[in-house]
Every structure is written in C-alpha cells, then in structure tokens.
Amino acid sequence: MAQALAIQTKDLGRIYKIRGPKKKGDAKQLVALEGVNLEVEQGELFGLLGPNGAGKTTLIKILSTLLLPTSGVALVEGRDVTKDVFQIRQRISMVSGGETSGYGLLTIEENLWMFARFYGLDTATAQKRIDELLAVVGIADRKRAKISDLSTGLRQKMNFVRGFLSDPSVIFLDEPTLGLDVTAAREVRGFVKDWMREVPSRTLLLTTHYMAEADELCDRLAIVDSGKVLVCDTPANLKHRLQKDAVFNLKVSLLGPKPNQDAMIESVPGVRRVTASEHEGYTELSLILAEESVLGGVIGHLSSRGSNLISLEKRAPTLEDVFIQLVGRRLDEDTSKRNGAAQ
C-alpha cells in the first residue's frame, strides 16, 4: 500500500517581477522556482539543500500558504495551497532561523501563551506545552525575561518553541539552528528526532546550511539550485553516487593568484571537481577525481605551478562532495563565487 503524501508539488513555479528603474537589457523578472516536482511522504523528515537564492525559502512560503505560486500545483496533506488556506494553516507550523517574533514588552512566557491562544489551545494545555518545550531548549529559567532583553540566540530558542506549541502535523523548519551555539543546536536536533518518533504520522520539511545536520536528520533530501530540483534521494544513496569516484583532500603550499582557464587544476584530465580554500601558509584542496590514477597528474600540475604537497588524505564521499559535484561550489560559499574552484 502506497504511503500517503504529506506534501506534493507538480510543475511548481514562482516568478517575481522586478520593480523600479531599469537599464536597457536588465531582467524584468526573477525566476525563483521552475518546474519543481516533489513528493514528501507522511511521517518523513525531508530536507532541502541549496545555496542562497536557490528557491528553498520561496518553496516553503508557498507550502505554508504565505506566497502564491505563479504556476503549477502545491498540495499539503492533499489540500491545495491556493484554495484551502484555512484548513492547511490549522495543521501546519513554521520556524525560520533568525526570525524576530514576539512583542518586546512581553516576557517569553507571555508571548508563548499569546501564540498558544492564537492556535486555539486552552490555558492548561498551553502552559504544559510551554514549560515542556522551554525545558527542552534550556531556557525554562528565563521564561519571565522580556523579549527586548534577550540575545539573538535566546530569541531564536523562543521562536523554535513557538513553532511546536500547536503540535502541527506538518512543520516547516527554515534554518532552525541559525544563530544557536553548538550545544543548543544539538539539543534542537535531538528534540526534532524525538518529536518525529513520538507520532509516526508527523512530517517535517527542513532547510539547512549545515551538511552534517542534513545527514544526521533527513530520511531523504533534495538538492536545489536556481529554482530547480537537481536530485532527490536518501543521504546514503546520494553519497553512493560518488563511490566510483576518488575523493581526496590535499594541503599544498600557497597557489597564489587565480591562473587563466587552461592553467587551472580542472584542466587536468580526469578531474571532476575542485574546491579550494586559502589558509595561513597553505592552500587546502578538495578533489573529486574519475579514478585514483588521476592524482599523479594533479600533483604534477601543482608542481609545475611551484606548489609543494604538504599532506594528502583519501576519504569517503560526503554530502558536501555530492553538492559540489552538482552545484559547482560549497554550500557555505558566497554566491558571487559561482564558477567553482578558481584555482
């Protein structure tokens, strides 16, 4: 028997019109989503990975009924986001990392109680859930602190609690650990896993910039770029795609300025992808090669450019390697560096 779908999109598209003065030849519109087809099963923890501007937040806003699609269809638990807005909103919630929510003059407890009442919870149920969730994120002792006095991290913890108060059947988490320290982020991930286990029918859609977070949490994930879904599978299967390739980390003496196209490492036959990062005294390279024998050509190329090998490590493929192969750059790389390794 087929699993029920919690989320489904069919040829979903979203185009933004660009307003304001334009020079001749400037684009008049921005394509944020184009032909997106996704199916998320009920009970699944599904992830979206993509660089800034890939369309992840636009997709979540459409699914949470905050934004209308330009084309195609989006369904949440079988309901159309353009026609069944009220019914969908009764069953979903959303948390965005870095979002400022709440009223500064009210305390954490007062803000959360107010949101709980908006969701239709009675006072006793609301207070029980507030206390439980504040304990999970470690700020139960700050519940009477005013929002205006909180740090960014504490506000984000309160916002996270607010998202789970209504016990939604589908929740959208858009960068939920953004701004949290390592311990708090680990607690949030632990809570998410426990929350999903408690009720098998719950569904969670997550966007994150942290590869380890996606690998740890997601049953399946989609990599998106420029408004399109490039691939969709389990983290294990995505990494298995690169098993036939050879993946190496190299530390070499500084390479210096970016050479012309013909002198870049990518010009070596058999080199699939390269990313480079500069450190004090050395350059670190991450290589995806067609086979191990290609490494000799790479080292010879580096030597011809006056760079010496400091260390070399062969490793198993990671989600980041898959992402780099598909998108051409690291997830944390600035969008201005769209042409990849530049080495």
CA-to-CA distance for 143 and 35, rounded, in angstroms? 45
**Residue 256 in this model has a pLDDT that exceeds 80:** no
Query: In percent, how much of the chain has pLDDT > 70?
Result: 91
What's the confidence (pLDDT) of residue 22?
66
pTM: 0.82
What's the confidence (pLDDT) of residue 318?
87
**Residue 257 in this model has a pLDDT that exceeds 90:** no
Q: Which residues contact 143 (CB under 8 A, 6 or more apart)?
A: 107, 108, 109, 130, 131, 134
**Residue 343 in this model has a pLDDT that exceeds 70:** no
**Residue whose C-alpha is closest to residue 171's, from 83, 60, 87, 82:** 60
> Strand 220-225 to strand 45-49: parallel, antiparallel, or no bridges (unpaired)?
parallel
DSSP-derived secondary structure letter, 141: G
How confident is residue 21, by pLDDT bands cut at 50, 70 and 90?
low
- pLDDT (mean) for 164-184: 88
In tens, the pLDDT along 331-340 reads 766 433 433 3
What's the confidence (pLDDT) of residue 261?
60
Q: What is the mean pLDDT of the chain?
A: 87
What's the confidence (pLDDT) of residue 63?
97
In tens, the pLDDT along 94-111 reads 988 766 677 888 999 999
Residue 276 phi/psi, 5-degree rounding, is: -135, 145
**Cβ 193 vs Cβ 124: under 8 Å:** no
Pair of tokens at residue 146: 């005013």
Give the H/E segment covering residue 194.
helix 182-198
- pLDDT (mean) for 46-52: 93
Query: In percent, how much of the chain has pLDDT > 90?
Result: 52
CA-to-CA distance for 135 and 141, rounded, in angstroms? 8
- pLDDT (mean) for 159-168: 91
Pair of tokens at residue 145: 């602190």
Least confident among 98-107, 232-241, 292-301: 98-107
**Cβ 249 vs Cβ 288: under 8 Å:** no
**Residue whose C-alpha is closest to residue 234's, from 253, 221, 224, 244:** 221
- pLDDT (mean) for 19-43: 85
DSSP for 295-339, please give it.
HHHHHHHHHHTT--EEEEEE----HHHHHHHHHSS-TTS-TT-TT
Least confident among 100-109, 144-153, 285-294, 332-341: 332-341
Neighbours of 46 (CB within 10 A): 21
What's the confidence (pLDDT) of residue 208?
86
**Cβ 60 vs Cβ 50: under 8 Å:** no
What's the confidence (pLDDT) of residue 59?
96
Highest mean pLDDT range out of 34-43, 274-283, 332-341? 34-43
How confident is residue 175, by pLDDT bands cut at 50, 70 and 90?
confident
**Cβ 201 vs Cβ 169: under 8 Å:** yes
In tens, the pLDDT along 183-226 reads 888 888 888 999 999 999 999 999 988 888 999 999 999 999 99
Q: Which residues contact 63 (CB under 8 A, 6 or more apart)?
A: 7, 9, 74, 76, 81, 172, 205
**CA dihedral sign of residues 236, 53, 225, 336:** negative
**Residue 253 in this model has a pLDDT that exceeds 70:** yes
